[in-house]
């Protein structure tokens, strides 16, 4: 052992100075090398490739070529579809999948496909629950390595800022933070003059002027100005939702979405409309609300030019042009264009639900519009006016029927005698002459009626409807005769006084 020697390469030492960092490699030699050993090491040096500009050494020629490309900025591999250039052939090959749309890697659990195998592996953790990156300090596991690195800072030695007592994981982070206290902003934007305390912040800001979006999604080709925005976007493709609500367990792809969701539990509404003072739980809801004040309708229909405040409103409207009716009633099979305003309302016919209740008389209705029409009985409002004679009506269909008096239109024809009628109700009354029956049957008690109007009045016994409302005393009546009698009593009482 005494006659042998060995060369021990020590760890690389990075010495930080005020302006730059200097890498020092040191080799310690113990005892004198034999001639045989000297020849061996001389051969090893010949097998090592050196970069002529920086002097860095590489054991493989391919590693040297890769390093040289990073120094020169040369990007020899060009995409024939979009002209974008790349450092490596493998990167170009992955990029080309954006143009071909090829996604050869399929998830065996849900069938979702991916253009990269690495994205498939990350996605599969959604199904398996695998968390391969484990903290050696506390044993906690994570799906992504970057999440583990962020977590490990909890265990690293803290460095403290003596001015504000704030703690940091790394000395470099502390040094950058100190610029907040000094107020120094040495980096200035040549376009708008704005100054920054960090050069990296200036570079990110300059993308506002250049429009540069250097971070591109390999799945869909969408580009982003910030790497963090790309990472958040990629969760759309992988299905990863790492941010979980501690109250209800709901998961979110972005931390900001979780923070907004928490307001649901706290009932906090921190987003305030400066126009009307209304408060909102979510910032996006506030933005949509503000379009009421600004009148902004950014979503325009390419078929008819009609504009909408929200994109989902535009999509629903476009169905009127295509004629598509994607929502089907499971009870009767009828199809509808919209789910919320058409299918859900229709389903109340089958369920018997009447969610709209009149606050005046307590009567309930299947549709909101029916309640509005009913409330006009209490308010006395008649918004539909005849342009010919000035007569007003509670409902628009009443006005349409009335206008036939002026136009002379008689759309209802009797097939038995050929006689025509202005109103459908008049036609039904006439048709009884030919049928000599009572076509209107009450499903509650079985009683039959010759006229529909008699039948409708009778039904109030079963429904409890009292449409005649006294504005003086607040009492309601089922029949007009009782209401008129009540009014006469009130008038006579008033005269007696």
Hey, what domains does the chain have and what are their CATH numbers? 357-474 (3.30.160.60)
Can you give the pLDDT at residue 347? Answer: 83
Q: Residue 258: pLDDT band by 50, 70, 90 thresholds?
A: confident
Can you give the pLDDT at residue 19? Answer: 28
Question: In sequence order, which residues have a C-beta less than 8 Å from that of residue 84 and are 6 or more positions away?
Answer: 78, 95
Closest among 432, 491, 475, 482 to 457, alpha carbons compared: 482
Closest among 89, 97, 92 to 79, alpha carbons compared: 92
Can you give the pLDDT at residue 4? Answer: 42
Average pLDDT over residues 440-449: 82
Q: Residue 36: pLDDT band by 50, 70, 90 thresholds?
A: very low
Torsion, Cα 329 334 339 341, to 10 degrees, reads -120
CB 477 within 8 A of CB 369: no
Residue 34 reports pLDDT greater than 70? no
Q: Residue 43: pLDDT band by 50, 70, 90 thresholds?
A: very low
Over the chain, what is the mean pLDDT? 77
SS3 per residue for 181-248: HHCCCCEECCCCCCEECCHHHHHHHHHHHHCCCCEECCCCCCEECCHHHHHHHHHHHHCCCCEECCCC
Q: Residue 32: pLDDT band by 50, 70, 90 thresholds?
A: very low
Can you give the pLDDT at residue 344? Answer: 81
**Euclidean distance between CA atoms 2 and 147, whole angstroms:** 50
**Euclidean distance between CA atoms 195 and 186, whole angstroms:** 7
Q: Residue 389: pLDDT band by 50, 70, 90 thresholds?
A: very high
Residue 324 or 68, more confident: 324
Tokens of 458: 């009778």
Q: Residue 117: pLDDT band by 50, 70, 90 thresholds?
A: confident
Question: In sequence order, which residues have a C-beta less than 8 Å from that of residue 456 and are 6 or more positions away?
Answer: none
Predicted confidence (pLDDT) per residue in 208-254, tens digit: 888 888 888 888 888 888 888 888 888 888 888 888 888 888 888 88
Cut 0.85: pTM above it: no
Length of the chain: 497
Can you give the pLDDT at residue 51? Answer: 60
End-to-end alpha-carbon separation of the chain, Å?
133
Predicted confidence (pLDDT) per residue in 119-168, tens digit: 888 888 888 888 888 888 888 888 877 778 777 766 654 444 455 777 77
SS3 per residue for the chain: CCCCCEEEECCCEEEECCCCEEEECCEEEECCCCHHHHHHHHHHHHCCEECCCCCCEECCHHHHHHHHHHHHCCCCEECCCCCCEECCHHHHHHHHHHHHCCCCEECCCCCCEECCHHHHHHHHHHHHCCCCEECCCCCCEECCHHHHHHHHCCCCCCEECCCCCCEECCHHHHHHHHHHHHCCCCEECCCCCCEECCHHHHHHHHHHHHCCCCEECCCCCCEECCHHHHHHHHHHHHCCCCEECCCCCCEECCHHHHHHHHHHHHCCCCEECCCCCCEECCHHHHHHHHHHHHCCCCEECCCCCCEECCHHHHHHHHHHHHCCCCEECCCCCCEECCHHHHHHHHHHHHHCCCCEECCCCCCEECCHHHHHHHHHHHHCCCCEECCCCCCEECCHHHHHHHCHHHHCCCCEECCCCCCEECCHHHHHHHHHHHHCCCCEECCCCCCEECCHHHHHHHHHHHHCCCCEECCCCCCEECCHHHHHHHHHHHHHHHHHC
Residue 102 or 55, more confident: 102
Nearest-10 crossing angle of helices 117-128, 227-238: 60
Can you give the pLDDT at residue 491? Answer: 62
Residue 462's CB: how many other CB atoms inside 10 A? 11
Can you give the pLDDT at residue 69? Answer: 61
Average pLDDT over residues 305-329: 85
Can you give the pLDDT at residue 158? Answer: 45
Can you give the pLDDT at residue 17? Answer: 28
Q: Residue 386: pLDDT band by 50, 70, 90 thresholds?
A: very high
Tokens 């030019």 correspond to 305
**Euclidean distance between CA atoms 413 and 434, whole angstroms:** 13
**Euclidean distance between CA atoms 460 and 478, whole angstroms:** 7
Residue 43 or 265, more confident: 265
């Amino acid at each position: 052992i005494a006659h042998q020697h060995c060369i021990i390469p020590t760890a690389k030492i990075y010495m930080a100075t005020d302006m730059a960092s200097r890498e020092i490699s040191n080799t310690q030699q113990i005892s004198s090398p034999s001639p045989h050993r000297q020849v061996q090491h001389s051969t090893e040096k010949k097998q090592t490739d050196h970069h002529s500009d920086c002097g860095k050494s590489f054991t493989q020629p391919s590693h040297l070529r890769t390093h040289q490309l990073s120094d020169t900025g040369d990007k020899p591999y060009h995409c024939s579809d979009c002209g974008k250039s790349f450092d490596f052939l493998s990167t170009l090959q992955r990029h080309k999948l954006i143009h071909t749309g090829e996604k050869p890697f399929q998830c065996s659990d849900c069938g979702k496909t991916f253009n990269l195998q690495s994205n498939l592996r990350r996605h599969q953790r959604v199904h398996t629950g695998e968390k391969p990156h484990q903290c050696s300090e506390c044993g906690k596991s994570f799906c992504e390595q970057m999440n583990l690195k962020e977590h490990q800072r909890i265990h690293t030695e803290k460095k403290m800022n003596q001015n504000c007592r704030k703690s940091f994981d790394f000395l470099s982070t502390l040094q950058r933070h100190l610029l907040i206290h000094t107020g120094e902003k040495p980096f200035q934007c040549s376009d708008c003059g704005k100054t920054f305390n960090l050069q990296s912040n200036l570079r990110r800001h300059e993308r506002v002027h250049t429009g540069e979006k250097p971070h591109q999604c390999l799945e869909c080709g969408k580009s982003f100005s910030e790497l963090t925005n790309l990472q958040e976007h990629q969760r759309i493709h992988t299905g990863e939702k790492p941010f979980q609500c501690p109250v209800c367990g709901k998961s979110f792809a972005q931390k900001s979405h979780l923070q907004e969701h928490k307001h649901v539990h706290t009932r906090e509404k921190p987003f305030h409309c400066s126009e009307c003072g209304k408060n909102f739980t979510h910032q996006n809801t506030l933005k949509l609300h503000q379009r009421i004040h600004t009148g902004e309708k950014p979503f325009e229909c390419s078929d008819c030019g009609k504009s909408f405040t929200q994109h989902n409103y535009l999509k629903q409207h476009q169905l009127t042009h295509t004629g598509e009716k994607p929502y089907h009633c499971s009870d009767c099979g009828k199809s509808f264009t919209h789910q919320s305003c058409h299918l859900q309302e229709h389903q109340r016919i089958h369920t018997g639900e009447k969610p709209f209740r009149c606050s005046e008389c307590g009567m309930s209705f299947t549709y909101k519009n029916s309640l509005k029409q009913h409330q006009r009985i209490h308010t006395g409002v008649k918004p539909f006016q005849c342009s010919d004679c000035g007569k007003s009506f509670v409902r628009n269909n009443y006005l349409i029927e009335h206008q036939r008096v002026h136009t002379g239109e008689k759309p209802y024809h009797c097939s038995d005698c050929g006689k025509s009628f202005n109103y459908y109700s008049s036609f039904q009354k006439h048709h009884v002459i030919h049928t000599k029956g009572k076509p209107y049957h009450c499903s509650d008690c079985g009683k039959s009626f010759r006229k529909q109007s008699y039948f409708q009045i009778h039904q109030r016994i079963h429904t409890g409807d009292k449409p005649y409302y006294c504005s003086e005393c607040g009492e309601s009546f089922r029949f007009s005769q009782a209401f008129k009698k009540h009014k006469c009593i009130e008038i006579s009482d008033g005269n007696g006084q």
